[in-house]
Structure 1
């Protein structure tokens, strides 16, 4: 049986009394809100022929914020009643002091919805989910005798939020999420390699548990594992790199995306601070952050401050034209919010965060980009990476890559890492493909200890002179 609709003001917390207390908390402040949340999630994982994880989690609570200037008072509780809210008011008032601020205008309202409000966990029974994962395990093992281990995970969640603003407006949003992930380990002559494939989004489980989808995911995981089984050590040195479309946009997300978030630029800690209106990328490079894409993992109908999500142009034809802003940083910088105020949960304060960040297509075919490479690599998949936001320096490991010589894609390579900095890499883009694609819906982004789901995307890109770390010569 599905849980009842999220109605926090029909329990121990009365809406009129809550509004009165929110107004007390933000008296003399510039901004603030009461954020209420209920979240439920389920993860079922099958590993090495047996059920490894079967978990269900439920949590709810509120967060109360009062903002004055660049300071913010924040308090949160898992108890949603008037007593807890009164204690939160006393805490948030510490940031406001004697006040004197002018309350910012309320966010505009929207009737737009970008995804279903149905609970994806209800799309299949628990025994049905276990049987599906068992079937995936058997199917993947039957594809190739070299498969020695299979892991399959099905995850679903639903987050229900209500944002009560001091003007009296109540904004609600119901956010589903689902994901299927398949990982395969193959072994041959004592050598083992792994391949992983997955997909997800703000949709139900129906599409993910369809045999056509999960069989394709299992085959793709196997293909990647077998590619790496025959891979040679990656070369090392400065060379041209062609990035594939879709998920390789994670490099774009990390190397420049965080640097274009409003808080880092307002404080002058971003490599792109003070460069508004200047060329920061090669001609033809246009980058957007777009939270309005239906059903995408990084999309939000409204952000966690109640602002409708935006489609924000960050870089246009190589020129820096915008930052991602929440209400506080947008107000302090004089630009206004872009609907990017996001938080992990009621226990976290909102901050400027990416949604779906991607680069638009250019005019070149992927084959044309590769033809222009005399000696380099073609990077199709990425794993983990590290980025220093203050200078944009990054290190990313490739999960699928190939050597390119004289314009031809050759043998696969393993152990390749891409090293550089975002500002320089943007300037070194020599070719932009006509094949822009979004990732399959697997991204998470961390910032200041908070994690939120995101999307990335890009066309194939030719970047000249990146440093490649590897074992070969």
Structure 2
């Protein structure tokens, strides 16, 4: 039976007519005096996109990108080069450029390549999603989503539906003997709507996906209609929203996508490179209390079919369940091989790159807070006057200070322990560690996002997942439009 590694090897090395012996020869050539580690990253990505606007398919396209990235590490320095062609002469040329980083020093050991088969740890099928549905069925899917949105409410005036699928085949060979490969599918469907009433317009979107085939959109729970109805619901809520209060208020966050605030305000600060350089406010705090006792934060690349999941990371390290904060205490960082070696720890399966044309960084996979013991209804009932943050929009965070600003594109008043009117213009302003220290109730519910997350760092974007239970923060600065609460 052909393994995923065999499939990746046949697809990439077979296409390039590169033998295992040539891989070892190339890696040996990179291991000049002063170089500590080297790797070769082969990739071929097939992708397609479909777009329907106002009932008409406006765009349908497909593309293939392939190449190899070559990396040599010397102490804290990185030599990197890439070629947009899978061929041995291009590989040799890129390797020569990467090895130019070499400094004076001893020669590190070059280990024989050893297969690292994924085996039973497969989290998704090694498929090309484009082949799971024919063109006519994809067009029909777009039209179905469009109709579902328009049928949901007469105030819907515009609908845009997008469908995307990709198959990412990678193979990594490294001087430490790693030889690993993966075939990573990804799909995403998104429905955006505009509604209008009495001359006022609002818009919203919803969608989902993961490392699956297009067949997920034809399931018995009718997810496509669900996305359409959710987009319409959010847009209509905004039509009825009133100005938000401002001031320091208790905030209850919904389960699921609200974990994006955790991802930004806390997760990035726990990536190894920021901590090695002392650029994170979590640097040097392993073993210290950095959050409420109720908070346990995990980065988990092993969840089946999830957007941020991996069989192996982009250095060939198996994905893992990594506890970062346990009962409020910082217990670990997310690491790639480079930062782990320099910090004297082990890699955690968090090495990621946007493509072969970029070098590796430690990045999140699926990051979430574990559930607690409180009933979600009791959490809301505990708030006399505050905000319920149901869905987040965009935001930003300063890694060094931990300060963040996030907008809520769906929020409600909480008055006398009950949800009240929808609000517009809600912005949450705070500091990640401080907010984590003010978490006073954590729900016994728990949810992940629907599969839409994209994380940016240093100009690179990778798919991720976020999640959390319902939780209460005793005080966050709310920037609103109504004035002080």
Interval containing the TM-score (normalised by the shorter chain):
over 0.9
Q: Show structure 2 runs of 5+ residues with no match.
A: 1-7
Which of 72, 75, 79 is the matching residue for 1:73?
Answer: 79
> Given that residues 445 and 470 in structure 2 are in contact (C-alpha distance below 8 angstroms), is that contact kept between their aligned partners in structure 1?
yes
Query: CA RMSD for the aligned pairs?
Result: 1.8
- Show the counterpart of 1:184: 193
Determine whether 1:378 maps to 2:384.
Answer: no
Q: CA deviation at 1:352?
A: 0.3
Aligned length, in residue pairs: 471
1:280: which partner in 2? Answer: 290
Question: CA distance change for structure 1 residues 65 and 357 in 2, over 3 Å: closer, same or farther?
Answer: same
Q: SS state of the match for residue 256, structure 1?
A: helix
Aligned to 2:41: 35
Q: 1:213 aligns with which of 211, 214, 223?
A: 223
Check if 1:130 corresponds to 2:139.
yes
Shift in alpha-carbon separation, 1:327–1:427, aligned structure 2, 3 A: same
Q: For residues 461 and 101 of structure 1, what CA distance do their matches in structure 2 show?
A: 52
In the alignment, the residues of structure 2 paired with residue 175 and residue 139 of structure 1 have an alpha-carbon distance, to the nearest angstrom, of 30
Structure 2 counterpart of 1:50: 56
How far residue 46 of structure 1 moved from its aligned partner, in angstroms, is: 0.8
CA deviation profile, 1:195-232 (whole Å, cap 9, x unmatched)? 21111100111012447111111111111111111111
1:84 to 87, 90, 114: 90
Residue 366 (structure 1) aligns with: 376
Task: Look up the match of 2:269.
Answer: 259
Residue 23 of structure 1: aligned partner: 28
Q: What does 1:10-409 correspond to in 2, within 5 Å? A: 10-28=15-33, 29-103=35-109, 109=116, 110-111=118-119, 112-210=121-219, 212-409=222-419
**Paired residue secondary structure (1:72):** strand
Q: 1:132 to 1:340 in 2, by over 3 A?
A: same
- Corresponding residue number in structure 1 for 2:5: none
1:102 offset after TM fit, Å?
3.1
Structure 1: runs of 5 or more not aligned: none
Q: Distance in 1 between matches of 2:452 and 2:115?
A: 30
Q: How far apart, CA to CA, are the structure 2 residues paired with 1:93 and 1:30?
A: 11
Q: What SS does the corresponding residue of 2:38 show, helix, strand or coil?
A: strand
State the SS of the aligned residue for 1:6: helix
Q: Which residue of 2 aligns with 1:8?
A: 13
Kept after mapping to 2: 8 A contact 1:108/1:308: no
Measure how far apart 1:103 and its partner are.
4.2
Deviating 4+ runs (over 6 angstroms) = 104-108
Q: 1:425 deviation in Å?
A: 0.6
Task: Give, in whole Å, the separation in 1 of the partners of 2:187 and 2:161.
Answer: 14
Name whichever of 152-161 and 89-98 sits farther off. Answer: 89-98
Does the residue aligned with 2:140 lie in a helix, a strand or coil? helix
Aligned counterparts of 1:122 and 1:240: Cα–Cα separation in 2 = 49
CA distance in 1: counterparts of 2:10 and 2:60, whole angstroms: 25
SS at match of 1:7: helix
**What is the distance in 2 between the residues matched to 1:271 and 1:15?**
44
Of 432-441 and 168-177, deviating more is 168-177
Q: Which digits, 9 at most, give the CA deviation of each residue in 1:334-353, with x for residues without a partner? A: 11100111100000100100
- Cα deviation for residue 194 of structure 1 reads 1.5
